[in-house]
């Protein structure tokens, strides 16, 4: 079961008594080979779970950094098939790190849902986050994914009230992704007190791990969030650094080394978090 990798990782984190670090990068950014080098290096740098963004032309929930990353990738010919190929290459040397595809439904729909799920499972994908498919559309992708033992990870937000929350959580598996701010990715810093209260509320409704993302850019923020959640998710800060390095002309392993050094500081922050969550 592919879901087992996610479950095993969060069980190991719980046994270690520490939160995890989830790192998001966009597939094919700034080019396919460099993207592979970055993703391959993330586990050694301290990433416990890797989210791989599927580039899309209309990423409505993403801020400027991730939008730009998607455009760079698409300009270099990135496709969903190539993204799955990247995952297969990663799995040749790493069978332990959970990999989650994150993005929008359109590329999956265009690829064909049954074919996509078959290919994603064969490649080694553990979970999906599809931000524009509400629970009312679960038969489209969520339920078929669960039948293939691929986790379907839901987003909960500050506006998800107690009446809506059970519906959101009904078919959620792997972990719950709590969006710490209202707005697009990378647009503001999270309020740690508000996050602590939100995570506590979520845990009254589910036994799944809760990962918190949007707006975490520094090791200190990652540590603060990690003190109240099962994992901190960092995306825009990493993607921004990839864009800056690419603009300087870095590619391949030199770019990956720069990203790894930054991720290592985030991992150190998370590992030093003072836990206050159950």
Our answer to whether residue 147 is catalytic in this structure is no
- E strands present in the chain: 20-26, 49-53, 99-103, 127-130, 151-152, 155-156, 176-179, 210-213, 231-234
In angstroms, the Cα distances linking 81 to 28, 60, 78, 120 are 11, 22, 8, 9
Tell me how far apart the alpha carbons of residues 187 and 167 are, in angstroms, rounded to a whole number: 27
Tell me how far apart the alpha carbons of residues 197 and 15 are, in angstroms, rounded to a whole number: 23
Which of 31, 37, 62, 119 is flagged as catalytic? 62
Q: Are strands 231-234 and 151-152 parallel, antiparallel or unpaired?
A: unpaired
Number of Cα atoms under 13 Å in the Cβ half of residue 6:
30
Q: Are strands 151-152 and 155-156 parallel, antiparallel or unpaired?
A: unpaired
3-state SS class at 178: strand
What contacts 66, CB < 8 A, 6 or more positions away?
24, 26, 53, 59, 185, 186, 235, 236, 239
Our answer to whether residue 62 is catalytic in this structure is yes
Which of 37, 48, 51, 119 is flagged as catalytic? 51
Tokens at residue 198, please? 């939100």
DSSP 69-82: HHHHHHHTT--HHH
Tell me how far apart the alpha carbons of residues 23 and 12 are, in angstroms, rounded to a whole number: 18
By annotation, the residues acting in catalysis are 51, 62
């Amino acid at each position: 079961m592919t879901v087992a990798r996610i479950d095993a990782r969060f069980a190991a984190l719980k046994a270690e008594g520490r939160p995890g670090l989830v790192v998001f990068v966009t597939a094919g950014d700034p080019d396919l080979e460099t993207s592979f080098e970055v993703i391959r290096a993330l586990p050694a740098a301290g990433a416990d779970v890797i989210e791989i963004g599927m580039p899309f032309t209309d990423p409505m929930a993403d801020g400027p950094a991730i939008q730009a990353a998607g455009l760079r990738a698409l300009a270099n010919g990135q496709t969903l098939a190539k993204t799955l190929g990247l995952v297969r290459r990663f799995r040749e040397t790493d069978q332990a790190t959970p990999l989650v595809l994150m993005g929008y439904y359109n590329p999956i729909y265009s690829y064909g849902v049954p074919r996509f799920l078959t290919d994603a499972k064969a490649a080694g994908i553990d979970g999906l986050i599809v931000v524009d498919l509400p629970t009312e559309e679960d038969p489209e992708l969520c339920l078929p994914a669960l039948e293939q033992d691929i986790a379907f990870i839901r987003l909960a937000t500050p506006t998800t009230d107690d009446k809506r929350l059970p519906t959101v959580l009904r078919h959620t598996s792997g972990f719950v992704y709590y969006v710490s701010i209202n707005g697009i990715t990378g647009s503001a810093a999270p309020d740690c007190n508000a996050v602590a209260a939100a995570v506590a509320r979520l845990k009254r409704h589910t036994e799944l791990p809760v990962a918190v993302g949007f707006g975490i850019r520094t090791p200190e923020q990652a540590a603060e969030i990690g003190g109240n959640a099962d994992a901190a998710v960092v995306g825009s800060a990493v993607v921004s650094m990839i864009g800056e390095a690419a603009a300087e002309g870095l590619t391949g392993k030199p770019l990956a080394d720069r990203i790894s050094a930054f991720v290592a500081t985030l991992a150190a922050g998370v590992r030093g978090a003072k836990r206050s969550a159950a």
